[in-house]
A and B are shown apart, each in its own frame.
Chain A
Amino acid sequence: MTNTEPTALTAEQTDHADRRQRGTHLPGDGHMWLMVLGDLIIFGGYFIVYMVQRAMAPAAYLQAQQHLSITIGVLNTVVLVTSSWFVAQAVRAAADADYERAVRLIYGGGACGVLFIGVKAYEWTMKITQGYTNSNEFFMFYYMLTGVHMFHVALGVLILGIVVRELRNPRRRRPSMVEQGATYWHMVDLLWLVIFGLLYVMR
């Protein structure tokens, strides 16, 4: 996959590779996983509440759902999944000590993240000008879930920036740091897939 020959691996990197092969490697660190699992549970709570509220007025929700543009939803999902691909490949590149490629890939992932925010902002603007505000219960959930998610995306872009800064400094580059950032970024992707399914697709 890579053009350049990997440079010498550090002890940490060979150790990671070894544990990965044995299937006992924790990507990133426990602090980040605690945050991710907790965040998943909290969002799970939001999703369940959404479903319960939806079950009380399914017709009204379905009717409101029809005002969302599925094309924009699909576009944004593909953008975010692609950004995750970039970041996941960056983790592999960093594990191979190919830091230049890792940085380029993370730039790609970050650019997709920014594009996602741009598309989302466009979608919000459209919906608000069309008169779908948070006075409708479905749209209240729409703005809340996508808004909180967008906050996570923005935070993720910041985290990717921190990862790039660390990768560019030879004394600070550590695979576990890249993995932490990547773990967070994929969580953002994962949550979006659920939001996409619940808000845009289900009937």
Chain B
Amino acid sequence: MSATVVAASGGEPVGTEPRAPASKRDLWIVFWIFPTFFGLFGVIFVLLARVIPPPRPDVTTDQKVQWFASHATTIQIGFAAVCVVFGGAAIANGYVAYQMKRMTSGPTFAYAYMGAMAVGTLPGLLLVALCFSAATFRPDREPRISAMLYDLGMLSFNGSLGCFATGYLAFAIAILYDKNQIFPKWLAYVSIWQIVTEVIATQMWVSSAGPYAWNGSIAFWLAVIVFGFWLNCQGIFLKFATDRQPAGSRPAD
């Protein structure tokens, strides 16, 4: 097996000068950032920031202000922590792009994945941190403004669809053309589900209650279950890919 991998992609000789024996420690360090980051992400967003499960869209301005007031402390701790660790998203996505670069499908979609995900961090992760922090920063802020921050935060967090749909599409196509089997073919098919859930989630922009709202059974919960399954698969196969990568090899330019 390793013979095909080396022949097809990985085995570009790394310099000719004498060097230390090849080690895969760098790969493993970066790999472990993937589960660590997403674990922290889950804990922070569920337990502290209160963004998952999502607060209701169908409440009055006063209820939104009240909601911020009653969760202010955990929201503040949560999003301050997000500010420190959210670089992990860039590393996790960068590592996926790196493994995609080892595929035989050419670098195009590896770069597309990296670009789409790097852009997605701002609307999909940081903007909600900013809005909710700004709302809790001044409890006496004009209630209409806090209510707008509530909507802006939740919709940017749950409704930033295009960046991620582009990333999933790039991921799927790269896998389908790959002969090195860095990721299994079915994970590409499964990425199609992800795109479909993103398409359905568009409805949260027109629906403020019911199954298609940002906390709805279809637009949110089903999408989160699919995302969780997909992310776990991606992590597991990232580990297998790291296992199989020959020490001292690097992707082709």
Contact = CB atoms under 8 A, between A and B. Distances in A.
Given A31-B185, A46-B222, A144 B200 contact: yes
Nearest to A43: B196
Interface in A14-71: 30-32, 34-35, 38-39, 42, 45-46, 49, 52-53
B222 A35 contact: no
Contacts of A144: 200, 203, 212, 218
B210 A148 contact: no
Contact of A148 (B199, B206, B225): B199
A39 B193 CA distance: 7
Interface residues of A, number: 22
Interface of A: 30-32, 34-35, 38-39, 42, 45-46, 49, 52-53, 134-135, 137, 140, 144, 147-148, 151, 155
A151 B186 contact: no
Nearest to B186: A31
Interface string B190-208: 1011001001100100110
Contact of A38 (B184, B193, B206): B193
Contacts of B212: 140, 144
Question: B interface, by DSSP: helix, strand, loop or mixed?
Answer: helix
A151 B189 CA distance: 14
A49 B206 contact: no
B183 to A, nearest CB: 11
B211 interface: yes
Contact of B196 (A30, A31, A151): A151
Contacts of A155: 192
A48 to B, nearest CB: 9
A31 B184 contact: yes
A159 B189 CA distance: 12
Interface residues of B, number: 21
B217 interface: yes
Interface in B40-91: none
A169 B200 CA distance: 38
B226 interface: yes
A35 B206 contact: no
Given A35-B192, A42-B193, A155-B192, A137 B203 contact: no
A42 B222 contact: yes
Given A30-B186, A42-B226, 5 more contacts: A32-B189, A49-B218, A53-B211, A137-B210, A155-B192
A31 B200 CA distance: 24
A31 B185 CA distance: 6
A148 B200 contact: yes
B79 to A, nearest CB: 31
Q: Which of A46, A144, A147 has the most CB of B within 10 A?
A: A144
B226 A49 contact: no
A126 to B, nearest CB: 21
26 contacts: A30-B186, A31-B185, A31-B186, A32-B186, A32-B189, A34-B186, A34-B189, A35-B190, A35-B192, A38-B190, A38-B193, A42-B193, A42-B196, A42-B222, A42-B226, A45-B218, A46-B222, A49-B222, A134-B203, A135-B206, A140-B212, A144-B200, A144-B203, A144-B212, A148-B200, A155-B192
